């Protein structure tokens, strides 16, 4: 594999705009600034409250089963995923006083609806726009989950609707760059570990006129930065490629051997893969570890126990200043 040159940055801020957890009581913790009663990331939003003596109250960030994050480097902003509901992401942007028109580009980790459907509300707020949207060609696949008692067909992003809203779609299987070569979008990740086997067989995609197992979720991709003198920062959506596969692929691509921070969904649920992944992460020795979204409580406990100095709980509004 030919290495690519990823321009180092002096630092990056990653703010969680949507996740499964909202905790207004988390305090600041070193490089993490929290939003809420005990944090300093942003003041609390005030809303009308007719039944209060002062006729006002405080608004709090919403959590949902979805993921979205803002990446800031060199004074420029990218949006990574958009959560699941029409009003979830845009509502939290309002509460955090972040202008929706301040993003230079949107990167989608993959096509699952809990990472994409918040684009509906963002598009309505922005109006006609030419913001580029980076994604893998398999992003458009129809998908469903088949279990013994039911079949759930997932909402599928619409190319015509997204283009009709004015977004400029950029499809790429291979790695690509943003922000003057400072941000790497991995594209399709090589699968090399024996223990990261992907989704259950009940996860299916519609290809060539029929439903078939889609364990690999080939459109799963991450974004990577190189913080000068510290190492790689990797942000994932769900980590369907396998979180260790993603780390090793990013290292091979960039030639940077040190992992500084790993944030996002790890899609670790249960079974032997949890212990094997935790053991591999201990060897990688990240300084900052933020498992989010689709990382089970069992896996979070195992990661916190194995890497107590690196582990940081995530919550909506947390800003990681790396």
Residues 142-160 have pLDDT tens digits of 999 999 999 999 999 999 9
**pLDDT for residue 42:** 87
Q: Tell me whether strands 76-80 and 105-107 are parallel, antiparallel or unpaired.
A: parallel
pTM (predicted TM-score): 0.97
13-321 CATH, one of 1.10.10.1800, 3.40.50.2300, 3.60.15.10, 3.30.70.1070: 3.60.15.10
Query: With pLDDT > 70 as the criterion, what percentage of the chain qualifies?
Result: 100
Domain boundaries, the chain: 13-321
Say if residue 195's pLDDT is above 90: yes
Residues 162-188 have pLDDT tens digits of 999 999 999 999 999 999 999 999 999
Say if residue 192's pLDDT is above 80: yes
**Three-class SS of the chain:** CCCCCCCCECCCEEEEEECCCCCCCCCCECCEECCCCCCCCCCCEEEECCCCCCCEEEECCCCCCCCEEEEEECCEEEEECCCCCCCHHHHHHHHCCCCHHHCCEEECCCCCHHHCCCHHHHHHHHCCCCCEEEECHHHHCCEEEEECCEEEECCCCCHHHHHHCCCEEEECCCCEEECCCCEEECCCCCCCCCCCCCCCCCEEEEECCEEEECCCCCCCCCEEEEECCCEEEEEECCCCCCHHHHHHHHHHHHCCCCEEEEEEECCCCCCHHHHHHHHHHHHHCCCEEEEECCCCHHHHHHHHHHCCCCECCCCCCCEEEC
Q: What residues does 47 pair with on adjacent strands?
A: 57
Residue 103 — very low, low, confident or very high, per pLDDT cuts 50/70/90? Answer: very high
Say if residue 1's pLDDT is above 70: no
Q: What is the mean pLDDT of residues 30-56?
A: 92
> Listing from the earlier edge strand, what are the strands of the sheet with 183-185?
176-178, 183-185, 223-227, 231-236, 259-265, 288-292
Q: What is the mean pLDDT of residues 95-122?
A: 97
Q: What is the mean pLDDT of residues 284-295?
A: 98
**Three-class SS of 126-173:** HCCCCCEEEECHHHHCCEEEEECCEEEECCCCCHHHHHHCCCEEEECC
Q: What is the mean pLDDT of residues 259-269?
A: 97
**pLDDT for residue 43:** 87
Residue 69 — very low, low, confident or very high, per pLDDT cuts 50/70/90? Answer: very high
Residue 99 — very low, low, confident or very high, per pLDDT cuts 50/70/90? Answer: very high
**pLDDT for residue 189:** 98
Q: Which residue has the higher pLDDT, 4 or 158?
A: 158
Say if residue 87's pLDDT is above 70: yes
Q: Which two tokens stand for residue 100?
A: 């929706």
Residue 4 — very low, low, confident or very high, per pLDDT cuts 50/70/90? Answer: confident
Q: Which two tokens stand for residue 35?
A: 């939003």
Query: With pLDDT > 90 as the criterion, what percentage of the chain qualifies?
Result: 95
């Amino acid at each position: 594999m030919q290495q690519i040159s990823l321009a180092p940055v002096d630092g990056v801020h990653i703010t969680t705009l949507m996740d499964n957890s909202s905790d207004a009581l988390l305090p600041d913790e070193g490089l993490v600034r929290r939003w809420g009663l005990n944090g300093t990331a942003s003041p609390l939003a005030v809303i009308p409250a007719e039944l209060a003596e002062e006729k006002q109250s405080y608004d709090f960030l919403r959590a949902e089963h979805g993921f979205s994050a803002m990446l800031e480097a060199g004074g420029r902003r990218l949006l990574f995923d958009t959560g699941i509901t029409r009003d979830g992401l845009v509502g939290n942007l309002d509460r955090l006083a972040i202008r929706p028109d301040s993003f230079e580009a949107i990167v989608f980790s993959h096509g699952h609806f809990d990472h994409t459907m918040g684009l509906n509300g963002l598009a309505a707020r922005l109006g006609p726009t030419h913001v580029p949207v980076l994604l893998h060609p398999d992003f458009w696949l129809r998908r469903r989950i088949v279990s013994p008692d039911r079949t759930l067909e997932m909402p599928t992003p619409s190319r015509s609707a997204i283009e009709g809203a004015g977004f400029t779609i950029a499809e790429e299987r291979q790695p690509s760059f943003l922000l003057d070569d400072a941000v790497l979008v991995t594209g399709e990740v090589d699968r090399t570990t024996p223990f990261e086997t992907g989704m259950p067989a009940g996860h299916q995609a519609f290809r060539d006129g029929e439903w078939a197992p889609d364990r690999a979720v080939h459109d799963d991709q991450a974004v990577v930065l190189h913080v000068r003198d510290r190492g790689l920062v990797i942000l994932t959506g769900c980590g369907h490629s396998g979180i260790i596969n993603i780390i090793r692929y990013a290292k091979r691509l960039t030639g940077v051997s040190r992992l500084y921070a790993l944030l996002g969904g790890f899609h670790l649920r249960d079974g032997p893969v949890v212990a094997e992944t935790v053991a591999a992460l201990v060897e990688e020795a990240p300084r900052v570890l933020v498992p989010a979204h689709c990382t089970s409580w069992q896996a979070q406990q195992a990661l916190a126990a194995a890497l107590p100095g690196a582990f940081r709980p995530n919550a909506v509004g947390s800003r990681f200043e790396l």
